[in-house]
Structure 1
């Protein structure tokens, strides 16, 4: 692994294969949940993010790509644009996609995968009634506990808020916390320190109302997502299991050895 700028790293060898292992595990989870695979471009329109009030809620985080586009700060924004104006024939309606995301977080950017400017995110995005979205999120949180055990990792799920909400967004922070609309999975990485490696979010109808995404009865759908930072998962795994591949849990070791040999 080498650092090529603030929050920018190059990776090779077993770390890359670890990233493949975790994304394969998330894809398998998405298939079991019946998610439809999507693929999106590496840019998103500034106009779309303005529609979602992104720049007022997350000031200074987006990275411009020129000509009215920015590098996507999350994968799910494309999902909402893809489904705009649709009436969902079945729900819960589930989608999964992976992509490169960019968030400029200033002094938080480091030379390690703890906080990256450019990173890989796998998301599962789901739509339904308020109760259906709540159940789906709960099921995903249960499932991820099993994935942690298989990988020989530990972590803690807890209610959370988005750390870069500022100023006038503090009211949103309080509401988010009171309603437990966001949970994070935090994994220990060293004594006294842990790292958020996944988030499980219930967006209510914030995005769907703006994009006119409806249920079969015509009312705006609720939506939620589970987001997994691939490099962070791999980094947390190494922090907990060490660098010796022979000492890694069997499922991970076999995957890495098989792909490294190939």
Structure 2
């Protein structure tokens, strides 16, 4: 494993480049925790769509007999970076638009037979730029983003293409939502030639604005979007050092 890690471009170097891009676009750097309370995830709709991916933090009710007496603590390991933004801003009025940037550790209970370092992991790191404002403002912010990310990735020896996508882990009962994602083109992924997605642009509409009571100055629910980079995948597949 150590030899394999030495062959990969350092995650910190990759993140420095992507952080420069997010802050260059006006993103205010944030420092969010790994833990997230279950209620926040419920309001974000995560258990409805991805209950099989959630990872909870447990506590020992009796230290003498742990781990047999572990019980839920009411906290989960964060599955995505952007959820922290909506919870932190709950009840806020968004004037103009807001750009927040952060790097964080994320956790998802992936199937054991699908795990592969640099491709699919239970713990991984993400760099995100979260946008909150009116739909028009968000579309203005997203204009040109695909080309800029394409250039960054290509300069690191990772040419790819943008594909219309949906979250691949929707349960059968949620296939309608996944289908709507494709029809409305709310999710686009930058994929390498082997199909591996290393970045995505996700338009949420006013879903999180309504769930977390984020409003515009005119009283309407704010819209949101996030631009996400899988740092482990970037580090594992970058061929040119920064």
Query: What TM-score do you get using the length of structure 2 for normalisation?
Result: 0.88
RMSD across aligned C-alpha pairs, in angstroms?
A: 1.8
Q: Write the mapping of 1:192-203 to structure 2, written as runs, cut at 5 A.
A: 193-203=194-204
In structure 1, the residue matched to 2:108 is 103
In structure 2, the residue matched to 1:82 is 88
Q: Report the CA distance between 1:135 and its aligned residue.
A: 2.8
Q: Does the 8 Å CA contact 1:109/1:117 hold for their aligned counterparts?
A: no
Q: Report the CA distance between 1:136 and its aligned residue.
A: 2.0
How far apart, in 2, do the equivalents of 1:140 and 1:49 lie? 28
How far apart, in 2, do the equivalents of 1:83 and 1:115 lie? 31
- Judge which range, 118-127 or 108-117, deviates more: 108-117
Q: Does the 8 Å CA contact 2:95/2:133 hold for their aligned counterparts?
A: no
Distance 1:234 1:201, change over 3 A: same
How far apart, in 2, do the equivalents of 1:12 and 1:163 lie? 27
Q: Report the CA distance between 1:148 and its aligned residue.
A: 1.6
In structure 2, the residue matched to 1:94 is 99
Aligned with 2:216: secondary structure?
A: coil
List, as ranges, runs of 4+ consecutive aligned residues in structure 1 with deviation greater than 6 Å. none
In structure 1, the residue matched to 2:33 is 41
Q: Does the 8 Å CA contact 2:114/2:120 hold for their aligned counterparts?
A: yes
Q: Could you list the runs of 5+ residues in structure 2 that have no partner in the other structure?
A: 59-72
Question: In the alignment, is residue 161 of structure 1 matched against residue 166 of structure 2?
Answer: yes
Structure 2 residue corresponding to 1:146, chosen from 131, 151, 166: 151
Aligned length: 228
Q: Report the CA distance between 1:217 and its aligned residue.
A: 1.5
How far apart, in 2, do the equivalents of 1:156 and 1:84 lie? 35
Q: Does the 8 Å CA contact 1:137/1:202 hold for their aligned counterparts?
A: no
Distance 1:11 1:98, change over 3 A: farther
Q: Report the CA distance between 1:137 and its aligned residue.
A: 2.6
Q: Does the 8 Å CA contact 2:154/2:160 hold for their aligned counterparts?
A: no
Q: Does the 8 Å CA contact 1:202/1:224 hold for their aligned counterparts?
A: yes
Q: Does the 8 Å CA contact 1:137/1:225 hold for their aligned counterparts?
A: no
Q: Could you list the runs of 5+ residues in structure 1 that have no partner in the other structure?
A: 3-9, 242-247, 256-262
Q: Report the CA distance between 1:54 and its aligned residue.
A: 1.0
How far apart, in 2, do the equivalents of 1:11 and 1:136 lie? 38
In structure 1, the residue matched to 2:70 is none
Q: Report the CA distance between 1:216 and its aligned residue.
A: 1.7
Question: In the alignment, is residue 206 of structure 1 matched against residue 175 of structure 2?
Answer: no
